[in-house]
Every structure is written in C-alpha cells, then in structure tokens.
C-alpha cells in the first residue's frame, strides 16, 4: 500500500472523533453521475436549472419527472466499497464516526451507516410544499409524473408534494446544519471524500474543522481548494482509497482478538 496512505491511515486511526464528509464523487463508482464531472449534466438538464423552487413553481411535472428518473437510477445502483467501508468503520465502535453527506441518493443509509447528516435532504423523501405532511418513498412514484398525477397532491391539504431536498437558493435545515458545524468543530479528524467543495454552505465545513485544529485528509479525483490545506490529499477513487484509509481493506483496524496466528510465528 502507498506509503503516504499508510501514514495517513495510522494517523487517522489515532483519532477518537472522526467526521467523514462526502460528495457526489463517493457515489460515482455506484453509477450515479456527479454534478460537475464529464457526465455531470443530467440528461439534458442541469441541476442548477432544475433543482430550484422557480423551476418547480414553473413546471412541477417536469421537476417530478426529473426526480423520478433520478430515483429510478439511484434504486438501480448499489452502495460501493467506499460506502460499505464507512459503514463498517462506524459499526466497529472503536471511535465516534459522523457521516455528513451532500448526497441525496440514500446510499450511505443503504450501506448501513447510521446517524447520517443529509445536508441537502434525501431524494426518496417527499414532503408537502405547504403543510408538514412528509413521507419516505422507498420506490419511485410509478413511471414518473406524466401530466398532473394526483399522487403528487398532498392528502392533507391538496397542495403539491415535492422532493424533500434542498434546492439551490433554499436554506439548509437549521438543525442539520448546526449539528454538522458542531461535529466539524469538535472532531479531531475530518475526511473530505468525493467533493469539489464548491457548494455553500456545505463547503464551509472542512474549513471549520481545519480552523479547529482537526487532522484534515482528502480523497478526490481532482484537486480542490482544500488540497493545499489538507495534511494528506489523495488523488484517486473513493472506492479504492477509502477502505485502505479506514484500515478496512486489510483489516488493519480490527478491534477483535488478534487473528489466530497461522502457526508459522
Ligand atoms: C443557500 C440537492 C441561501 C438538489 C444540492 C456564488 C458563490 C457561492 C455560493 C453561491 C453563489 N451563488 C449561489 C450560491 C449559493 C449556492 C451555491 O453554493 N451554488 C454553487 C453552485 C456556487 N448554494 C445554495 O443555493 C444553497 N442554499 O445558499 O441558501 C439562503 C439562506 C437563507 C435563506 C434563503 C437562502 C443550497 C445548496 C444545495 C443545493 N442542492 N443538491 C439535487 O441534487 O437535486 S447541491 C448538489 O450539488 C449536490 O447535493 C452536491 O452537494 C452538490 C455537488 O457537489 P459535490 O457533491 O461536490 O459534487 P461535484 O460533482 O461538484 O464534485 C464531485 C467531485 O468528486 C469532483 O471533484 C470529482 O473530481 C470527484 N470524483 C468523481 N468521481 C470520483 C471522485 N472522487 C473520488 N472518487 C471518485 N470515484
Ligand atoms: Zn399539505
């Protein structure tokens, strides 16, 4: 294993409170397009154009069609080695692990991660645009929203239902954001995985951790503004690097009894 990766892993495994902050890049190997990568344009729509309140007000059917298409794709994808390693790392209980994600694809939950802070919501949660009705849809709603489907009308007040995600220009949920900043300021290690760190205010979290003196490590295919600040910045895929960094790949972090010696010791 790359010497720098071993050093970073050994330093990381000393930490007691670790935030693992993820972006679209952690789900790329599961087959979910990123936002700004070469295939970053969703079909012929751009997230910035459709993931907005204006777009929904103008054409809710189109926005629902887009989200149903994305839900269908997300359900067809599976958590990859990065999601699974993070879930195993957290489950080991050896230290406090706080997953904070910008992704709405539900893959961290499906991988078994707990207590995931979903900064931008979850594509599978549906909420009423007017009252507090909300429901967690495990399956995409039918075959998409062709014309006015009454499935998209709130059973309580009749208003439009919408995906429970944070659109551009919308504020993030205060409680979620406060919790995220608290964890970033309190952690002793902060991992940024698969994010271009361009979307605010999420992109302020790595900075908050760095300012608080946390060990900062990055795994990303391309350099970001954090790459200079990080103690280690690995240019590589999350699926290949995160399991090694977390000591999962070769069981370096097994807390259980020493594996029985193979008798050649
Ligand atoms: C708000 C849900 C205010 C919807 C999302 C100008 C300057 C600065 C800020 C702004 C500005 N103009 C406007 C703003 C604010 C705006 C913003 O930040 N815009 C950006 C585009 C400049 N922010 C907002 O609007 C936020 N709200 O500010 O509200 C307010 C306050 C009070 C009252 C009223 C209003 C809301 C932002 C949330 C938007 N919603 N998603 C949906 O998706 O349907 S954001 C969406 O894009 C994703 O959720 C994700 O968070 C983000 C994309 O970021 P990344 O995850 O980093 O993904 P990206 O593709 O960019 O990068 C992937 C990286 O992975 C790449 O670097 C790539 O190299 C790497 N990679 C690829 N494959 C791999 C890999 N790495 C490792 N392994 C691999 N295999
Ligand atoms: Zn309602």
Q: So which residues are the catalytic ones?
A: 120
The pTM (predicted TM-score) of the whole model is 0.91
C-beta of residue 141 within 8 angstroms of C-beta of residue 132: no
Mutate to test the pocket of ligand 1, among 200, 220, 223, 230 (most ligand atoms within 8 A of CB): 200
Spacing, Cα 84 to ligand 1 middle (Å): 23
CA distance linking residue 234 with residue 191, whole number of Å: 11
Give whole-number Cα distances, 14 to 8, 153, 180, 189, 227, in Å: 10, 51, 22, 9, 22
Q: What is the CA radius of gyration of the chain?
A: 20
pLDDT of residue 244: 96
Mutating to test ligand 1, I would choose from 168, 198, 201, 244 the residue with most ligand atoms within 8 A of its C-beta, which is 168
Residue nearest atom 11 of ligand 1, based on CA coordinates: 200
pLDDT of residue 138: 63
Alpha carbon of 179 to ligand 2 centroid (Å): 27
List residues, by chain if needed, whose CB lies under 5 Å from ion ligand 2.
128, 130-131, 133, 154, 156-157, 159
Say how many Å lie between the CA of residue 167 and the centre of ligand 1.
Answer: 10
Ligand nearest to the CA of 133: 2
User: What is the predicted pLDDT for the residue at 33?
Assistant: 85
User: SS in 3 state form for the chain?
Assistant: CCHHHHHHHHHHCCCCEEEEEECHHHCHHHCCCCCCCCCCCECCECHHHHCEHHHHHHCHHHHHHHHHHHHHHHHHCCCCHHHHHHHHHHHCCCCEEEEEECCCCCHHHHCCCCCCEECCEEEEEEEECCCCCEEECCCCCCCCCCCCCHHHECCCCCCEEEEEECCECCCCCHHHHHHHHHHHHHCCEEEEECCCCCCCCHHHHHHHHHHCCCEEEEEECCCCCCCCCCCEEEECCHHHHHHHHCCCCCCCCCCCCCCCCCCCC
Question: Which amino acids bring their CB within 6 angstroms of ligand 1?
Answer: 23-25, 28-29, 34-37, 40, 47, 51, 102, 104, 120, 165-171, 194-196, 198-200, 202, 219-222, 237-238
Q: Which ligand is nearest to the CA of 239?
A: 1
pLDDT tens, the chain, 265 aa long? 789 999 999 999 999 999 999 999 999 999 998 876 555 545 566 777 789 999 999 999 889 988 888 888 888 899 999 999 999 999 999 999 999 999 999 999 999 999 999 999 999 899 999 999 998 876 444 444 332 234 889 999 999 999 999 999 999 999 999 999 999 999 999 999 999 999 999 999 999 999 999 999 999 999 999 999 999 999 999 999 999 999 997 555 544 333 343 333 2
What tokens appear for 138 in the block?
């495990």
- Which ligand has its closest atom nearest to the C-alpha of 200? 1
């Amino acid at each position: 294993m790359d010497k720098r990766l071993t050093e970073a892993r050994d330093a990381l495994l000393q930490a007691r409170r670790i935030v693992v902050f993820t972006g679209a890049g952690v789900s790329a190997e599961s087959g979910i397009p990123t936002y700004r990568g070469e295939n970053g344009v969703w079909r012929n729509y751009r997230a910035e154009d459709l993931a907005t309140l204006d777009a929904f007000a103008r054409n809710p059917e189109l926005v629902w069609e887009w989200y149903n298409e994305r839900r269908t794709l997300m359900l067809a994808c599976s958590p990859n080695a990065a999601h699974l390693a993070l879930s195993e790392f957290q489950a080991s209980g050896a230290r406090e692990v706080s997953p904070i994600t910008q992704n709405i694809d539900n893959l961290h939950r499906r991988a078994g991660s707990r207590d995931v802070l979903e900064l931008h919501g979850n594509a599978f949660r549906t909420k009423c645009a007017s009252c507090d009705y909300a429901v967690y849809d495990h399956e995409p709603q039918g075959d998409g929203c062709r014309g006015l489907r009454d499935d998209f009308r709130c059973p309580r007040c009749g208003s439009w239902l919408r995906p429970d995600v944070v659109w551009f220009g919308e504020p993030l949920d205060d409680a979620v954001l406060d919790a995220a900043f608290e964890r970033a300021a309190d952690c002793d290690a902060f991992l940024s995985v698969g994010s271009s760190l361009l979307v605010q205010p999420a992109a302020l979290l790595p900075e908050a951790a760095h300012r608080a003196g946390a060990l900062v490590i990055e795994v990303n295919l391309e350099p970001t503004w954090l790459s200079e600040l990080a103690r280690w910045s690995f240019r590589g895929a999350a699926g290949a690097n995160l399991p090694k960094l977390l000591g999962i790949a070769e069981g370096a972090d097994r807390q259980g009894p020493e594996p029985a010696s193979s008798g050649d010791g």
